[in-house]
Amino acid sequence: MSQTDTLSSSHRVTQAALVQKLHLSQLNKLTSSFVNAESERLFDPKAEYSQQANFTVRFGLQKCTKCQTFGIVGAGPSGLVTGLELALAGHTVILFEANNRTGGRVWTHSNETTGLYLLEMGAMRLPLDVHSMLNTYIRERLQLELEPYINYDPDTLVYINDVLTTRKQANDNPGQFNFNLYPNETNKSASTLWNIAVKPITDLFYADRWKEAVEKWDGYSIERYLLEVAHLSPDAIRFVSLLTNLETSLYTAILDNVLLHLIINDETTFYHIKGGNSGFTDALVRSCQAVPDGRCSIHLSTRVTAIELGNGSATVTYGSSFTTLSQNASETFDHVVIATTATAASLLDLKPRRRFIDTYYALRQLHYDCASKIGLYFTRQWWRNIGIDGGFSTSDLPIRTTIYFSFPPAPSPATLLASYAWSQDSIVWSTVPEDTAIAMALTDVQQLHTNINISQYFAGGITKHWCQDQYTQGGTFAQYAPYQQTKLKDLLAASVDNVHFTGEHISSAHAWIEGAILSALRLLMQIQEESFDAAIVGDDLISLITVLQIAELQPTWRIVLLSAAPSDNHMDNNSDEELSRFRPNDAAITQSIVLWRALEAKANVSNGTFLNLTNGYLLLTDENSTCSNNCQELDAVQIEAQFGFHNISRGLFYSSGGYVNITAAHHTLIQLLEKIPNVVTRSNEYFVGLDTRVSNSADHVRLITNRGSLNASRLVLIPGPNGNNVSKKFNFHLNLRLWELPTITYRAKTSSFRQLPTWAYDKSFIGLPLMASNDVRISPAVSSISTQLFTDPNQLTYVPDPLLIPRTTTWVIDHLSSKVNSSDYYVLSKTHIATRLLAGDVLDRLPPCARYRSKTFIYAGGSVDGSTSPLTPVWAVMLTQLVLGTSNNSIYNDLFSSMNAEKLTCETRSF
């Protein structure tokens, strides 16, 4: 991880901006990024921040239904993230770590004798505002405590060409270092020269055209690019490379270094985990060990020597050291993940070798940089006495970069990273005995700080040469040489049957923990995909009942329900109980009541738990509506005497009406589905798109969701308000209209107020039964009240329309003021959505022009007040009959005819 002087740029965008651009509204772009993940060469680093990867970091993988065993080689960040997420999803994981500790290149060292002198010998600074995946793990999933990491201090020092100055003075007066620059290069800081030079690359980066940058400059080293493209003078290249710590890396790829230096600049905010950055990997280990049933275990001091492919399996051979195979043990897994450095992986005996020819080629070729750290212990943070609170100094002395840790807080014993050296500088230091290296580093640091005698505080030191580490085996971090991004990236990431690879070297974020996480997520996205006999997309009651019906009739089918709602979204809470009116105005209503009662019996709850008909249904109307289905006609006097409504001339009371308790039904049915072995409910997951590379004639559909992908032999769509977005993916128009409506609760004037039935006033207002508080809940409907029209739920504000509230209150004053206080009300924070289909409700196969019509079915219905249809269980039975192919002899043939999908419009596409 390089050090730079001030990198001032009009763009402060790196991996942070990548995530900010990937909002849910960009479904098409996100779908493309994920669908092509297996078939297209992912040059663009932004593709790693897919919607699916972001949801996996937040919520983990969905639970597996065909759970498998995984052996993971390496317990660094990539191996631990991969193992933990697999184990939490239900798989069984064993991690093999050759070292006697976990963490890999994340290693917080403290003095073995005293436990003091905290020193980050590996990853030391965390740009969490930029690295969103690591940020989510640390702040949200693991909830680790952070402290600032000061990466820039203007009073740190620059010592170049025997000129000693502060960093601020070096930026203000770059000419003082006596380089022989071209006239157009004078009076420009090293960072300014660098930014101007790489602007053609960064412009493409910010324009989402990274692939073009790869095509143009993947074959360029830093030095070649600066000479041939930027036309810098030789001395300007010397100046820039010294100040940015690139002097011994000029032969490496320009593109890799541009990405790295986009992050490391003086305006990036860095963090550090209190107690040391090993706290991150330690927390992953604790989470792994807490997985139930021992499904996540770690074997330390266990070196894997060989991996052999089998028939749908892979066998790991391991021991305590490099010994002969006869002395080693072995274990067979469904999958093996190699989560080591590429250099360590190249030493594994992968069998049969002929299957890994390209893998070995890539592992051998990939360029790794070396890094050395020399840490010095002091009894106090003496640098604070001379005005340095953190940051780093830069010099052309052998120590090159000196880092002043701002932790732990004074007056604790202090550690100074006297030297952070890369590449050739690291190789040189690795030849020096530790005691000598510590003494030399102390001398160099003293040479920088001439105004204080630092030896009086000196208490010892430590060195670490990562290229000599027996576990990384020559790999500190990956850094492409020219042409390697084009030649090697795909080969490094490619699985060989069920042997897979992860690590920062496979990502775009080389040298960062974020890169290790990104590579793990890439692999997890491939592994998570499962196949089902039927997939139901939707999270309302029709979806739940349909799943229940299909599972009962086809107990051997594997069925999945995709629900966008969180798993606890419909918990039973009487203070916010969701109810829906049930008006018996349809010939099929009798059958619906029978089905509701059957559901209650199946769920082992009492009659009325889901469908409550205790207080009936009251239709207040001035129209000449027909009174049928056990209806009682009421005049104005009767209405006011029995129910308290006034100035209403006519009413129809249905004793067989009432309401559906959506909350109770949803909560109970979810619990019921959880007990059915062939059904899996995947919450927080919704349909995003289709993999259209799967032909219409295939025996399945491949769905892309916000959490990954799945295959389904039969697909049932119950899209609700998202119907327009979903139908477009299948090449037809649902023409769904949406309205956002409030619910207003008015206080009753007296506690003795008779409980109302469910009621409606023509098609203008809907009233729900009194709650325990005796309050009255009223919602305006769409028909007679003008409110904003939407076609996409992403347009919804979830803020009640203020125009509808006074209109509702005016109606209450005119018709119910004797019973409720029209000025004492509150508006529920949750709005509800009314819907209408221009062509009328649909329950059918998709229209003839649609993709995957032969295996996809849909229900889409309208509701002027956002309520659940009283015929919900009927719709579920009809969907089940369609899916099972038994609809021809259905008692609902008339309903099928009226809800035919052929009335929907299509757009012509070739597919």
Task: Please give the pLDDT value at position 7.
Answer: 31
Q: How far is CA 396 from the centre of its chain?
A: 43
Task: Please give the pLDDT value at position 3.
Answer: 38
User: CB of 128 within 8 A of CB of 139?
Assistant: yes
Q: Is 238 left (phi over 0), alpha (psi -120 to 50) or beta?
A: alpha
Tell me the C-alpha to C-alpha distance, in Å, between residue 797 and each of 800, 801, 873.
Answer: 8, 9, 31
Helices (H), 147-277: 167-172, 190-206, 210-217, 222-228, 234-243, 254-263
Task: Please give the pLDDT value at position 756.
Answer: 81
Task: Please give the pLDDT value at position 581.
Answer: 78
Task: Please give the pLDDT value at position 44.
Answer: 52
HSE-CB of 364 using CA atoms within 13 angstroms: 6
Q: Quote the DSSP letter at residue 136.
A: I
Mean pLDDT for the stretch of residues 271-288: 97
Closest CA to 345 of 371, 318, 306, 301: 306
Task: Please give the pLDDT value at position 578.
Answer: 73
Mean pLDDT for the stretch of residues 743-758: 79
Is it the case that residue 872 has pLDDT exceeding 80? yes
Q: Is 604 left (phi over 0), alpha (psi -120 to 50) or beta?
A: left
Confidence grade of residue 120 (pLDDT, cut at 50, 70, 90): very high
pTM for the model? 0.86
Burial of 575 (0-12, 13-18, 19+ CB in 10 A): exposed
The Cα–Cα gap between 179 and 406 comes to: 33
Confidence grade of residue 585 (pLDDT, cut at 50, 70, 90): low
Is it the case that residue 422 has pLDDT exceeding 90? yes
Confidence grade of residue 50 (pLDDT, cut at 50, 70, 90): confident
Confidence grade of residue 42 (pLDDT, cut at 50, 70, 90): very low
Task: Give the percent of the chain with pLDDT over 90.
Answer: 70
Place of tokens 């064993």: 94
The Cα–Cα gap between 491 and 477 comes to: 18
pLDDT, tens digit (0-9, with 9 covering 90-100), for 343-357: 999 999 999 999 999
619: which strand partners?
A: 652, 760
Task: Please give the pLDDT value at position 579.
Answer: 74
Mean pLDDT for the stretch of residues 130-151: 96
> DSSP string spanning 576-609?
G--EEEE---STTHHHHHHHHHHHHHHTT--TTS
657: which strand partners?
A: none
Confidence grade of residue 752 (pLDDT, cut at 50, 70, 90): low
Task: Please give the pLDDT value at position 764.
Answer: 87
How long is the chain?
911
Q: SS3 for 758?
A: strand
The Cα–Cα gap between 285 and 142 comes to: 11
Task: Please give the pLDDT value at position 301.
Answer: 95
Mean pLDDT for the stretch of residues 465-472: 95
The Cα–Cα gap between 76 and 337 comes to: 12
Mean residue pLDDT of the chain comes to: 88
183: amino acid identity, one letter: P
pLDDT, tens digit (0-9, with 9 covering 90-100), for 684-695: 999 999 999 999
Task: Please give the pLDDT value at position 153.
Answer: 96
pLDDT, tens digit (0-9, with 9 covering 90-100), for 477-503: 999 999 999 999 999 999 999 999 999
22: amino acid identity, one letter: L
Residues 399, 401, 403: CA angle, nearest 5 degrees: 115
Place of tokens 């989560």: 339
Q: Quote the DSSP letter at residue 141.
A: I
The sign of the CA dihedral 75, 284, 488, 200 is negative
Higher-confidence position of 764 and 38: 764
Given strand 401-404, what is the order of strands in its sheet? 163-166, 157-160, 392-395, 401-404, 414-422, 371-378, 458-465
Given strand 856-860, what is the order of strands in its sheet? 679-682, 559-562, 534-537, 715-717, 856-860, 842-845
What domains can be seen in the chain, in order of their start residue? 20-33+42-106+274-367+474-527 (3.50.50.60), 157-267 (1.10.405.10), 531-577+662-735+838-911 (3.50.50.60), 617-655+738-834 (3.30.9.10)
Task: Please give the pLDDT value at position 171.
Answer: 94
Task: Please give the pLDDT value at position 320.
Answer: 79
Confidence grade of residue 333 (pLDDT, cut at 50, 70, 90): very high
Is it the case that residue 113 has pLDDT exceeding 70? no
Confidence grade of residue 539 (pLDDT, cut at 50, 70, 90): confident
Q: Would you tell me how many other CB atoms lie within 10 Å of the CB of residue 738?
A: 23
Task: Please give the pLDDT value at position 293.
Answer: 96
Mean pLDDT for the stretch of residues 46-74: 91
Is it the case that residue 901 has pLDDT exceeding 90? yes
Is it the case that residue 325 has pLDDT exceeding 50? no
The Cα–Cα gap between 633 and 212 comes to: 75
The Cα–Cα gap between 410 and 405 comes to: 11
Is it the case that residue 611 has pLDDT exceeding 90? yes
Tell me the C-alpha to C-alpha distance, in Å, between residue 707 and each of 30, 35, 55, 563.
Answer: 12, 12, 6, 11
Closest CA to 746 of 693, 690, 809, 691: 809
Task: Please give the pLDDT value at position 444.
Answer: 98
Mean pLDDT for the stretch of residues 810-828: 91
Please state which of the ranges 6-10, 26-30, 208-212, 638-642 shows the lowest mean pLDDT.
6-10
Verify cis geometry, omega within 30 degrees of 0, for the bond prior to 408. Answer: yes
Higher-confidence position of 903 and 908: 903
Task: Please give the pLDDT value at position 34.
Answer: 46
690: which strand partners?
A: 703
Confidence grade of residue 114 (pLDDT, cut at 50, 70, 90): low
Mean pLDDT for the stretch of residues 168-181: 95
